[in-house]
Amino acid sequence: MLPHPARKAKSPDRPLFVYPAESAWRQGVGPDTVTGMKKLLVIVAPHPDDECIIGLLPLRLREECGFEVRVIPATLGSRPERRVARKKELRAACSVLGFKADVPPSAARGMIKAQELSERLDAARPQAVLIPHARDGHATHRAVHKLAVAALDRRPWRAWHVVETEYWHPLVRPNLMVAASAENLGLLCRALACHKGEVARNDYAASLPAWMIDNVRRGAELIGGAGFAAPAFPFATLYRARLRAAGRWTAPFRGGKIIESSAELGELAGLLNPRG
């Protein structure tokens, strides 16, 4: 197990120790203890293919903690003539990863509406929702962040666990680094290759390993802290976990978490329980 970042001294405003509120959310891993249903994670993907690029955490939660993963594409891309094909590519990629594609009919006409997304999320009551961060370097990704936050805020009485993702522009303050095995990475690349039209113009699958290697370099210092020794694992994805309730953001834990083992992943999964 990696040394926990909490063992390193940090500034008073960003301590890395878990604070007591975290323990109130810890209710176990696997099927919900009340309903007996699988825990659900929803990816709000700006485009088909994003579910693969940022899909490491969902993949590991599905494989190691028994989560169901559902992908809601906010768009099927900007080219109308490609939307039917992109929907098929999304379903093929989800089949490789063991995810479920949930394509709103309105995605075939452009970007889905906040009300439609809100209704789907409200009915699903996922343990966590993955969305792009507000400053991701792609206009559609930034628009989908705003769309998703607006959808969450339509249910202000509910506390939503949100995991923000990065790709076109890095997160300034990620608080979660999830390690990938060679098998995880290979599966994500296989799934990404299903998006044939996108890979033909820009081979995201070929560049994914390099991106994930660089994430380990960044995550060591951004999450572990200045001077933190680089982890032994070669591949990772960075995220920012937050809570959204009553139109405000709060932190689910202080500092950062580095997730390598299944036990560490299970601890994180145990925090993901919707409230309200």
Q: What is the pLDDT of residue 17?
A: 27
DSSP secondary structure string, 147-168?
HHHHHHHTSTTSBEEEEEE-SS
Q: Confidence band (pLDDT; 50, 70, 90) for 254?
A: confident
pLDDT score for 4: 39
Contact 81, 220 (CB under 8 A): no
Tell me the percentage of the chain whose pLDDT exceeds 90. 80
Q: Check pLDDT > 60 for residue 29.
A: no
Confidence (pTM): 0.87
pLDDT at 271: 87
User: How far from 45 is each of 151, 234, 253, CA to CA, in Å?
Assistant: 14, 26, 25
Residue 99 has pLDDT above 70, yes or no: yes
pLDDT at 181 over 60: yes
- Residue 178: what pLDDT? 98
For residue 252, the model assigns a pLDDT of: 93
Residue 102 reports pLDDT greater than 60: yes
- What are the chain's domains? 12-269 (3.40.50.10320)
Residues of the chain with pLDDT > 70, as a percent, come to 86
The helix/strand/coil state of 235 is: strand
Among the ranges given (22-36, 72-86, 134-148, 216-230), the one the predictor scored with the smallest mean pLDDT: 22-36
Examine the pLDDT at 234 and tell me if it is beyond 90.
yes
Residue range 182-200: mean pLDDT, rounded: 97
- 89 pLDDT exceeds 50? yes
Contacts of 13 (CB under 8 A, 6+ apart): none
Cα→Cα distances 37→66, 127, 144, 221, 268, Å: 10, 12, 29, 38, 19
CA distances from 155 to 75, 143, 148, 162 (A): 23, 20, 12, 14
What is the residue type of 146?
K
Region 46-70: mean pLDDT is 98
